[in-house]
Structure 1
């Protein structure tokens, strides 16, 4: 059964899709090719060359929601660039904070835990909402409100194993325990079929989607199509205007954009095929900024490979709890989950699911907390 939050969100998406379908029908169901966003026209033609029906694609890409946005590719490339080179904007913010006594670390352009803590602490001191992001507005604020740190400011010592603290908060763990209690039967079936204990399934879903309460505010098709179109360097120039990359670094960015665009094209094609197989409107599918979908946040290519029917209704609906749990068990087993397993082996599987040690640390910690404080409550089938 779907969670109440998932159902409400899906109803809103379906209502929007239905409204748009009515409009398309009123227009005769055949919109002119000129209404397709020019950034998407080459993608449409490539998809058609790969065997997807062009007339159907044109109706889809002519709809109002399908408008190019540089945000997804800019976000991805900024993260990669910062990891490799450091960002000038972050370095300038670090230098400004350090000059006022708010930051004790290196000026390296990396938005690490200490930098984020320093930003939030400074923002709170000057009456700004705490938002640990380096921005040009923050840099201007450091210049116009040069408030020095108080004498004797104590800087935190962060543990070596970084986690997503918000996921482990009392509120979010309470959500996880409630989900655990309400879906014991489906969780048990998944454990029996795929060997993954309940606490690890719930912990992963807690990290990914707040156990189905947050499925993403993006339209997966739009983001994936925008990632493909974002491989054009000219479309991303504004995102790196402050950075002003040297020629060699710009060449590296261009190469990464092409790699990510090619990856996104495969995921876009997979998403359209998944939607066709499930009999749903592609634009009714919410997702993450990078196109992950469902309660377990599968990339569409994984949805085609690993989504399974967990409740016997003949569909593999990743927005349905039994289906999502069974699909999650299926992919984890395919990635090497088997019992008995060492913690090191578990970590390797979760890292394969999402290449982030912080992500893995958070899942392991959340699972431990779920074991130590078992859920209780009503069980759903």
Structure 2
């Protein structure tokens, strides 16, 4: 066969293969476009209307990981509902525990410190993991194994200032001291540039992420998108089956879901912008159940405003220790940190970072312990 004909046939074969490849890609793109979770389709449309590139959004939302989950919104609404009305499930568990002598009361539907202690005490007596959470499985266990508390059970007297005890445990404080020692130079730079002493920076990170050891086991973009989609009450069907809220309380839940969904939309849009600026895959960013990201757990809108480059590489990567520390110093200064600072002023700044007095109490206690350890020369674990 003549060389020219061979070449022609090879060229034609290559062209056919390329054509098939293009067809496969086109079909794949069409299939991918059809695999957007229906719950996310309105969000994609809204983001595109706000100026984000639709083709890029569609590729992101078509990926297998982008699946709606009602958990984030259900958890948030349950916490709000319990704070306002009390939860029927918690009240029923409290009632069982009171009858069995494990809880001093009242059965108010609030999962407070005493209720958590009572649940753990019962669980430990049954050889169960002492989780201290209120679940339907626990209620079933109480009905199945209605064992009375031992005679003379002594209930604890809790201090007025509640803290996250687990953060102040020996293990967790050792982690914090090791981080302090390992990052002395970066911590000192942050103090010099932003005025926040080392022990407060480390204490906050110890509360938020175990000083970077735990960055969340959720995918931030999926949870934020799910929160947005969860503003539709129909998508939360079953989340309050046990509670059976009255019509007026259901209306309140619906309003709260809409509020939280709108808030989450702003955070989702900010997260996508942050990922684009940093040049990273949005689905590679871990976060909390409510979308906080990085070692210092910034909400994405704060990441856009306050994340700064702490190591001079041109990026503001909240998963890099030096960048995270500088960014933390930056936001705390913006929230009012200045020297000298009274304890009351410090507490106000930390409360602005996370609206929880327990959170603030824990940071202040952890910072005191770190300061005492540093002063005594025992920073190293």
TM over 0.5: yes
8 Å contact kept, 2:370–2:379: no
Secondary structure of residue in 2 paired with 1:239: coil
2:70 alignment partner in structure 1:
70
Asked whether the equivalents of residues 182 and 377 of structure 1 are also in contact (C-alpha less than 8 Å), the reply is: no
Q: Post-superposition shift, 1:286?
A: 0.5
Gaps of 5+ in 1: 1-25
Distance 1:113 1:377 in 2: 33
Quote the residue 1:84 is aligned against.
84
| Structure 2: segments with no counterpart, 5+ residues | 1-23
Cα offsets for 1:45-100 (capped at 9, x unmatched) = 00000000000000000000000000000010000000000000000000000001
State the distance in 2 between where 1:196 and 1:27 align.
53
The aligned residue for residue 49 of structure 1 is 49
User: Paired residue for 1:21?
Assistant: none
Report what 1:316 is aligned to: 316
The aligned residue for residue 3 of structure 1 is: none
Deviating more after overlay: 213-222 vs 231-240: 231-240
1:180-259 equivalences in 2 (<5 Å): 180-259=180-259
Alpha-carbon RMSD: 1.2
- Tell me, in whole angstroms, the C-alpha distance in 2 between the residues paired with 1:250 and 1:97: 28
Larger Rg, first or second structure (1 or 2): 2
1:16-41 CA-to-partner distances (Å, cap 9, x unmatched) read xxxxxxxxxx8567354211000000
Change (3 A) 1:53 1:152: same
Q: Give the superposition deviation at 1:376.
A: 4.0
Give the deviation of 1:377 after TM superposition: 5.3
Q: Contact 1:97 / 1:103 at 8 angstroms: preserved in 2?
A: yes
Cα distance in structure 2, aligned partners of 1:267 and 1:104: 42
Q: Distance in 2 between matches of 1:50 and 1:297?
A: 26
* CA–CA separation in structure 2 for the residues paired with 1:269 and 1:368: 38
Counterpart-to-counterpart distance in 2, 1:290 and 1:74: 11
- Which residue in the other structure is 1:330 paired with? 330
| TM-score in terms of structure 1 length | 0.91
Contact 2:36 2:58 in 1 (8 A): yes
Question: How far apart are the structure 2 equivalents of 1:139 and 1:376?
Answer: 45
TM-score by length of 2: 0.91
